[in-house]
Amino acid sequence: MSDMAAPSTAPDELPRAKTDWLPLLLIPALGLLTLPFVGSPSTWVTLTVAGLAMGMMIFLMASGLTLVFGLMDIINFGHGVFISLGAYATLIVLGPLSGWAQADSLGLNLALLALCILAAMAVTGVVGAVFERVIVRPVYGSHLKQILVTMGGLIVAEQAIHAIWGASPIPIPLPQSLRGAFVLGDIVMERYRVVAVAIGLVVFIGMQLLLNRTRIGLLIRAGVENPEMVEALGYRIRRLFVSVFVAGSALAGLGGVMWAFYRQTLTAGMGMEVMVLVFIVIIIGGLGSVGGCFVGSILVALVANYVGFIEPKLALISNILVMALVLIWRPQGLFPVARR
C-alpha cells in the first residue's frame, strides 16, 4: 500500500504572484508617444537619459520609505532629514580626500564616490536606529502622532545640522572624471547622470534579489502582506521593523549622496525639498512596493523632462497630473502590496 503525500508549499517560499506587465508598458509607451513632439531623436535620447538619471536618484531616496510604510505602517515625515544627513556625510570623506576629487583618474573618482556612499549609509543607518528607538517606536499604531513626532524630529535634526556644519550652503565639487558629457554624434549624455543610472540599477537589482531570493526577503514580504502571520510563526517582527527602518534610512543616505553631487551644494533643507516628489512616487508605485517605486520614479522623472521641454508652463504640475491619472486608473497604485 503506497502512501500518497499531499502537495505542500515549502516553508521558505511564498507563492509567486503573476507579473503585472501592463504598468511596465507605461514607460516605453510614454517614450514613443513623446518622440514626435520632441522632434529631434538626439534631443529625445538626451532628455530620456537625463530623466532616467533623475528617476534613479528619486528611487534611491524613496525606496526605503516605501518599505518602511509598507511593513511598519509608519508615516515618517522625517525621512527627508536622512537625505540631508547623507549628503552632509560626504564631507567626512571629502575633507581628508579632497585631492581624489581633483585627480584626473576615473578609478580614484569612483573610489571617492564609493567611500562617500559607504560613509553616508553608515551615518544615516546609525541615526536611523536611534530615530526609530527614541522617536518612532513610542507612536506605533497612531498615524497622527507619527506625523507630529517625526516632523518634530525633522526640525531638531535640521537644527543639529546647522549647529554642526553651519547654516550657509556648502559647495562640494563633482569628481573630475564625472564632469562633462559623453558626446555621440548629436547625442549628449552627462557622465554623472550615466553613473547615477548605473548605481540606481545596481541598487534596484540588489533589492529585488534580496526580497525575492533570501530568507530575510521572504520575511519582509510576508510582513508587508500579513504581519500577524509572521508573528504567529514565531519570528520577532519588531527586530524586522528595526532592520527595515535602518536599511531605509541608509538608502536615503545613499540617495542624499547622489543628490548632493548632482546639486553640488549642501543645505540642511535639501532633503525636505524632494519629499513631496518622494511621496508622489510612493503613492504612484503602490505602498510597500519596491518595483512600483522604481517604475513610479522613472515615470515621474521622464514626464517632468518631456513636459518641461515640450510645454514648460505645465512642468510644475506634471507630477500631480501623473499621480491623479494613475490613481484614477488604479486607486491603490501601480503595484500595491501593502494591506493598509
pLDDT (tens digit per residue) in 2-35:
444 444 444 455 455 566 788 889 999 999 999 9
For the cut 60, the answer to whether the pLDDT of residue 193 exceeds it is yes
Position 340 in a domain: no
Predicted pLDDT at 199: 94
Alpha carbons 142 and 130: distance in angstroms, whole number: 19
pLDDT (tens digit per residue) in 139-168:
887 888 888 999 998 999 999 999 999 889
Position 8 in a domain: no
Query: What average pLDDT does the segment 241-252 reach?
Result: 90
Position 215 in a domain: yes
Look over the chain and give the mean of its residue pLDDT values, rounded to a whole number.
86
Position 263 in a domain: yes
Position 185 in a domain: yes
For the cut 70, the answer to whether the pLDDT of residue 169 exceeds it is yes
For the cut 80, the answer to whether the pLDDT of residue 237 exceeds it is no
Position 24 in a domain: no
Predicted pLDDT at 224: 66
For the cut 60, the answer to whether the pLDDT of residue 339 exceeds it is no
Alpha carbons 247 and 270: distance in angstroms, whole number: 20
Do 211 and 290 form a contact (C-beta atoms < 8 A)? yes
Query: What average pLDDT does the segment 215-239 reach?
Result: 77
User: 69 CB contacts (<8 Å, ≥6 apart)?
Assistant: 75, 76, 282, 287, 288, 338
For the chain, what is the domain count?
Answer: 1
pLDDT (tens digit per residue) in 303-330:
999 999 999 888 888 999 999 999 999 9
Domain residues for the domain of 168 are 57-269
Alpha carbons 227 and 223: distance in angstroms, whole number: 4
pLDDT (tens digit per residue) in 291-309:
899 999 999 999 999 999 9
Predicted pLDDT at 11: 42
Position 34 in a domain: no
Position 6 in a domain: no
For the cut 80, the answer to whether the pLDDT of residue 340 exceeds it is no
Predicted pLDDT at 186: 80
